[in-house]
Chains A and B, each alone.
Chain A
Amino acid sequence: MDELKKAIRDYVVKEYLEEGDDRQVGEDTPLITGGIVDSFSMVSLKRFLERKYSIQIPDAEATPQAFDTVNGIAALVTKFTKG
């Protein structure tokens, strides 16, 4: 897992899993459809990415579909990092 994906995964685990929740989060683990992140709480993830990578993700692109896996989120970050 490259650095970007690891940073995303680490944030998801710290921010969304409760203590004692031992679910494994991999690159393709469904986060939103899998019930780990709800769309209501997703905003903190978007803000984390924007701050850490100095990017702006338009709301129209920050869909629950795009945020459903670590891979999907990494692709989105890469897209906006490249401008």
Chain B
Amino acid sequence: MAYSGRARESYQNELANLRSQGLFKEERYIHAPQGAEIEVEFPTGNPPRKVINMCSNNYLGLSSHPEVVAAAHMGLDHRGYGMSSVRFICGTQDIHRELERKLTEFLGTEDTLLFPSCMDANAGVFEAVLSEQDVMIADRLVHASIVDGMRLCKAMQDTFKHSDMGHLEEKLVEHQDKRFRMIITDGVFSMDGDIARLDAIVALAEKHDAMVFVDDSHASGFIGKTGRGTHEHCGVVGRIDIITTTLGKALGGASGGCVSGRRELVELCRQRARPYLFSNTVAPVIVSGALKVLDLISATTERRDKLETNTVYWRKLLTDAGFDIKPGESPIVPVMLYNAKLAQDVARDLFAEGIYVVGFFFPVVAKGQARIRTQLSAAHEKHHLDAAIAAFVKVGKKYGILGLGKNQIIEKYGL
């Protein structure tokens, strides 16, 4: 054993630093399936209490849907628990390819490849299709998994100011000497909930001969009239070269992700993407559940329509009550508090009122941009949202923030 006292002490100090900086993350134990109401043990050791969940990515309320659960059981019974293999040795079943075909059809692309997660898809895709001769130009607010994937790729990295089309065009012009340019963006940005201007991005890409990559994890299943995603919302279906997305949010919420897009790019991922080559196949039970999810949301838009209704209602409730929210259309609704301690205090008090939300602050969001991110679900009923706003108003009054704008909150609480 070479885990010396010196090593232990050093790691203990690192953890103590995280605690003292307020950056230490603690899990909360949930004693129930995922849903609009869950039983949460917090602080650890306390009896679980029922709260309204306003912080999950269960956008369509399918995580515990009886038909999805039944389909998962069927998968377990007919295709087993695990495959004990990567995909290309002996880990590909008929249902894996069936799910890839259905995702291709749903997303309106040419082909799809499953990954263990969208984090893995993003980690592997850039290195598989780009080289030193190319450049990746990313929106500055893309998800951390994209940043990691870009770091693993030898192509030049560059960034443009968030959703700033003028700055993006400058970069496209600057990099005309490269073999390929790839514009990289989230479809819906996970912290602000705003939607990428994919119509403008695609127009610039076509003008300056660039490919377009979109991570649509916070959009697949519900953004756009039939829930295909941001490309449907922006009217550019068939014009996005690579879409990555997850099965871990709206599409059943278990795990798994994919790269979907141009046939050759997907095939290169199958040949070269390391997280695909060197990690286990997605479990049959998840594949079967996801197939049912696609059936359900292809048959009717009822669930995404309900999510949209809930989103409009919740945004109006918060605005009418005098909260400072990030405007937009997505079911990610950030309540801006700017000050990190205030965000944590408000989240704690809301939990005491039976509302489960989490405060986000630096380094997850920029300094001085602390917030509570609320997320809607089709599993929410009107009475959940009415109860939630009553609690928000009660806590908002306690801290005297109702009706205050950015500068007034900062004046009162500092940054």
Contacts and interface: CB of A to CB of B under 8 A. Distances in A.
Contacts, number: 23
Contacts of B164: 18
A34 B367 CA distance: 8
Interface residues of A, number: 9
Interface in B19-72: none
Most B CB within 10 A of own CB, among A38, A44, A47:
A44
Identify whether the interface residues of A are mostly helix, strand, loop, or mixed: loop
Given A35-B366, A35-B367, A43 B158 contact: yes
A35 B364 CA distance: 12
A40 B147 contact: yes
A22 to B, nearest CB: 12
A41 interface: yes
B122 to A, nearest CB: 14
Contact of A41 (B159, B362, B367, B368): B159
Nearest to A38: B140
B157 interface: yes
Interface in A9-33: 18
A41 B366 contact: no
A40 B368 CA distance: 19
Contact of B157 (A34, A35, A38, A43): A43
Contacts of B326: none
B262 interface: no
Nearest to B162: A18
Contacts of B156: 43
B161 interface: yes
B158 to A, nearest CB: 6
A37 to B, nearest CB: 10
B14 to A, nearest CB: 18
A38 B368 CA distance: 15
A34 B366 CA distance: 10
Contacts of A35: 362, 366-368
Contacts of B367: 34-35
B366 A44 contact: no
Given A35-B367, A40-B147, A18 B157 contact: no
B159 A40 contact: yes
Nearest to B147: A40
Nearest to B158: A44
B54 to A, nearest CB: 27
Contacts of B161: 18
Contact of B140 (A34, A41, A47): A41
A47 B157 CA distance: 10
A9 B140 CA distance: 20
A41 B164 CA distance: 15
Contacts of A43: 156-159
Contacts of A34: 367
Interface string B133-148: 0000010100000010
Contacts of B159: 40-41, 43-44
Nearest to A41: B159
B190 to A, nearest CB: 16
B327 to A, nearest CB: 16
Interface in B143-191: 147, 156-159, 161-162, 164
A40 B164 CA distance: 17
Given A35-B366, A35-B368, 4 more contacts: A18-B164, A34-B367, A40-B159, A41-B159
Interface of B: 138, 140, 147, 156-159, 161-162, 164, 362, 366-368
Top 10 closest A-B pairs, CB basis?
A35-B367, A41-B159, A43-B157, A40-B147, A44-B158, A41-B140, A35-B366, A18-B161, A40-B159, A43-B158
9 contacts: A18-B162, A35-B362, A35-B367, A40-B138, A40-B147, A40-B159, A41-B140, A41-B159, A43-B156
